[in-house]
């Protein structure tokens, strides 16, 4: 992100992630039947927390999930072939002293499981 475009809000999101209200609003939209897009997965950020999930592991897994959503919708060919709802449901991340909120990540992944199942697997 160029420094010219840096605002207080974008800096807060870059450093701390989205607020619980922002994540809740996103989750409500998903449960309203509008579906989860690969772009939303790629841009998803979570609140930072003490004793959270490893940032790098979660981000890498979200990239795989986004590729899989694209692949299933025929949008792209993504490098992540064969990621299943069961894979998402059973993924385990390393716990870090400072990482993503485990509750938020787990809630988001529950929605991803439902989306993958709705798309056939």
Chain segment 45-61, per-residue pLDDT in tens: 899 999 999 999 999 99
Q: Is the pTM of this model over 0.85?
A: no
pLDDT of residue 22: 67
Mean pLDDT of 8-32: 59
Evaluate whether 45 touches 11 at the Cβ level (below 8 Å): no
Q: How far, in Å, CA of 85 to CA of 13, rounded?
A: 28
Residue 13 — pLDDT band, cuts 50, 70, 90?
low
What is the distance of C-alpha 44 from the center of its chain? 5
Evaluate whether 23 touches 108 at the Cβ level (below 8 Å): yes
The tens digit of pLDDT for each residue in 84-111 reads: 999 999 999 999 999 999 999 999 999 9
**55-88 per-residue burial string, b: 16 or more CB within 10 A, e: under 16:** bebbeebbbbbbbbbbbbeeeeebebeebebebb
Residue 66 — pLDDT band, cuts 50, 70, 90?
very high
Evaluate whether 54 touches 99 at the Cβ level (below 8 Å): yes
Q: How far, in Å, CA of 117 to CA of 36, rounded?
A: 12
Q: Is residue 36 predicted with pLDDT exceeding 50?
A: yes
């Amino acid at each position: 992100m160029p420094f010219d475009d840096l605002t207080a809000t974008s800096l807060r999101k870059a450093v701390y992630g989205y607020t619980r209200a922002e994540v809740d609003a996103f989750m409500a939209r998903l449960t309203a039947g509008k579906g989860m897009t690969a772009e939303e997965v790629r841009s998803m950020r979570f609140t930072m927390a003490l004793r959270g999930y490893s940032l790098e592991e979660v981000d890498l897994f979200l990239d795989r999930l986004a590729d899989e959503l694209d692949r299933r919708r025929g949008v792209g060919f993504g490098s992540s072939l064969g990621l299943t709802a069961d894979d998402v449901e059973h993924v385990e991340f390393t716990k870090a002293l400072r990482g993503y909120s485990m509750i938020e990540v787990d809630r988001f992944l529950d929605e991803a499981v439902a989306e993958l199942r709705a798309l056939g697997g």
